[in-house]
Structures are given as C-alpha cells and as structure tokens.
Amino acid sequence: MPMIVLTTLARVEVTTGTRALVTGASSGIGRALAQKLAQRGARVGLAARSVDQLESLAAELPGGPHLVLPCDVAVRADVETAVARFVAQTGGGIELVVANAGIAHYGPFRELAPELVERMTQVNWLGTVWTVRAALEPMVAAGRGHVVIVSSGAAQRSFPDAAVYGATKAAQRAFGEALRHELDGTGVSLTVAYPGEIATSLHDHEKATMPVWYHGDARASPPDELADAILDAVARDRRAVAYPRVVGLLGVAHGISPRLADTVLRRLRGPSAAPRRD
Ligand SMILES: NC(=O)c1ccc[n+]([C@@H]2O[C@H](COP(=O)([O-])OP(=O)(O)OC[C@H]3O[C@@H](n4cnc5c(N)ncnc54)[C@H](OP(=O)(O)O)[C@@H]3O)[C@@H](O)[C@H]2O)c1
C-alpha cells in the first residue's frame, strides 16, 4: 500500500511586513529585487559594500523603514553581524534571504590571476554559504522562511573563458539542491535562480575583453523581469527558476547530452561557445 508522507509546506508570499534581506542590493539584480520587495510591502535589509548606494536606495524605496547593512559577504563575521542586526531591528525575525552578491572575472583560465580565483571563490561561493548559514537559524527557529540563491545559467552549463566563475556558480547549485532537501519539514524552503545574460554592471570592468560568445548588453534581459520571476518562484515554492527560459532549455539539453548542448550552443553563440568537437 502506498505511504502518504505529509511534510510542512513552506510558502512565503511577499506582502506587507515581510522581512527580507538581500545581499548585493547596491546594484543590478539585487537592487531590482529590493525594489520589487519594497513595492510589495516588505521591509528590506540592503547588504553590500557601497554604503552610499545603499543609502540612496533605502531613501527612494517605498514603505520601510529599510535597513542599510554594510557588509563584505566574503567576511563571515560581517555577514553574521549584518543578519543579526537585521533580525534584531525587525522584531526578531526574517522570512526571506536572497544570497545574490557576486562578481565575475572572465578570461582564459591560464591567464586568470590566482587572486581573482580566490576572490570569486570567497564572494560567490563562500559569501553564499555565510549568508545562508547566518539567516537559517532564525528561520528554522520560527518554522518559516525562504532562501533564494542567485546562481547562474553557467551552473547549468559552463562556458569557456568562465571556468572559475562557472565553478563558483555550480557550487551554489549543488549546495542549494542538497539544502532544499535537508530543510524538508522545517518550514523553511529554498529556490535556486539561474539567470542568463542580465543587463547589470557585472561585467563593466571587463567589457573590452569579454568572450566572443557573450552577447551582453543589447540582448540582455532587464533585471526587474528576473526579479519578478524570482519572487513568483518563491511564492510557488519552486526549487529552481531559470530566466530567460532558454537557460532552462540549455540545462535540459546538457543534462541529456553535453554534446547536444555543444551543438545548440554553437548554433546560438558561434564556435567559441564550444570549440572542441568530440
Ligand atoms: N548579470 C548577469 O548577466 C548575471 C547572470 C547570471 C548570474 N548573475 C549573478 O547575479 C548576481 C548579482 O550580479 P549583478 O548582475 O546584479 O551584478 P552587479 O550589478 O555588479 O551587482 C553585484 C552586487 O554584488 C555586490 N557585491 C560584490 N562583491 C561583494 C562583496 N564582497 N560583499 C558584498 N556585496 C558584494 C555589489 O555591491 P558592492 O560592490 O557595493 O559590494 C553589487 O550590489 C551575482 O551573483 C551574479 O553572479 C548575474
């Protein structure tokens, strides 16, 4: 006879009074998420290093009061302090945390400075771990909450000249996939977001040296559309959200056969996206 297993369903619908902390809120995707959250009535914790940008964002967001949380996500103590401050100042709770802060350094692996390898690892991967780790305890104690990890389409299928960046994003994916199951029954859930090319400042420092396969600017999707897709995925408690949809399709193709994904990529992005034929 089939056994029916009842689990605690966790749904966080962002509404008036929802307490949400976003890392990397000073620009791009994090900023768009903070705006969408505030528009829906959330009280938002804005974490990043650029305090001036966070303060002007806090001043222009509706509702609030919103909290500026200066922090380098690569520094565990910084993240723990930021989350603790947010929880203390919002009455002892947090319903949503978005581990979004990230950096990118593209280029051939053999030419990538080891310091940049370390920095991407510390910010993208460990920064995610410290953020989620700090926010989980108050959520689990309350029996309710939702974690969002902003990974990348590069975690579904990584690209040449972005080997280390892709590896940090794949680490986020593996972490999130396991943790979502681990949290079963706690009332806390988790969604991993897989953005494609989004129009932000992520690559501003390396525009002149981006790989040929990168389309970027003209064809990049607006961050506010991605933010809507992420909040919709949270409300539906989806394990993953890929945006735009082609990112998810590429992930499916790669899952079936990396060689099939090579062919798709060569058609979509030219030979530099998958130069090796075997
Ligand atoms: N744009 C894309 O095409 C794309 C595609 C896939 C995935 N993503 C991912 O989306 C996330 C957000 O990137 P974005 O595109 O919005 O880029 P962005 O406009 O450059 O924003 C990056 C954010 O991360 C923050 N940040 C960077 N290093 C930090 C650190 N050490 N501590 C705290 N905050 C830090 C930045 O703030 P401060 O500099 O003020 O600290 C900024 O707010 C990243 O994880 C990125 O990998 C982006």
Testing ligand 1's pocket by substitution, the residue of 21, 26, 116, 156 carrying the most ligand atoms inside 8 A of its CB is 26
- What's phi and psi for 120, nearest 5 deg? -60, -40
Q: From the CA of 23, how far away is ligand 1's center (Å)? A: 8
Strands 19-23, 67-70: pairing is: unpaired
Residues 6+ apart with CB under 8 A from 205: none
* Residue 2 confidence class, pLDDT cut points 50, 70, 90: very low
Q: H-helix or E-strand containing 264?
A: helix 258-269
**The CA-based dihedral angle spanning residues 106, 153, 254, 107, taken in that order and rounded to the nearest 10 degrees:** 0
pLDDT greater than 60 at residue 9: no
**What span, in angstroms and rounded, lies between the C-alpha atoms of 242 and 31?**
19
- The response to whether residue 100 sits with its C-beta less than 6 Å from ligand 1 reads yes
Per-residue confidence (pLDDT) for residue 152, from 0 to 100: 98
Average pLDDT over residues 16-24: 96
Q: From the CA of 31, how far away is ligand 1's center (Å)? A: 10
Q: Structural domains in the chain?
A: 19-273 (3.40.50.720)
DSSP 183-239: TTTTTEEEEEEEE-SBSSSTTGGGGGG--TT---GGGPBPHHHHHHHHHHHHHTT-S
Average pLDDT over residues 132-149: 98
* 241 three-class SS: strand
Closest C-alpha to ligand 1, atom 25 = 24
- The response to whether residue 30 sits with its C-beta less than 6 Å from ligand 1 reads yes
Q: Is 194 a catalytic site residue?
A: no
Per-residue confidence (pLDDT) for residue 10, from 0 to 100: 56
- The response to whether residue 244 sits with its C-beta less than 6 Å from ligand 1 reads no
Residues 6+ apart with CB under 8 A from 4: none
pLDDT greater than 70 at residue 29: yes
In the chain, the amino acid numbered 161 is D
**What span, in angstroms and rounded, lies between the C-alpha atoms of 53 and 163?**
31
> pLDDT, tens digit, for every residue of 175-211?
999 999 999 999 999 999 999 999 999 999 999 999 9
pLDDT greater than 90 at residue 8: no
- What's phi and psi for 98, nearest 5 deg? -120, 110
Closest CA to 151 of 123, 133, 170: 170
pLDDT above 90 covers a percentage of the chain that reads 91
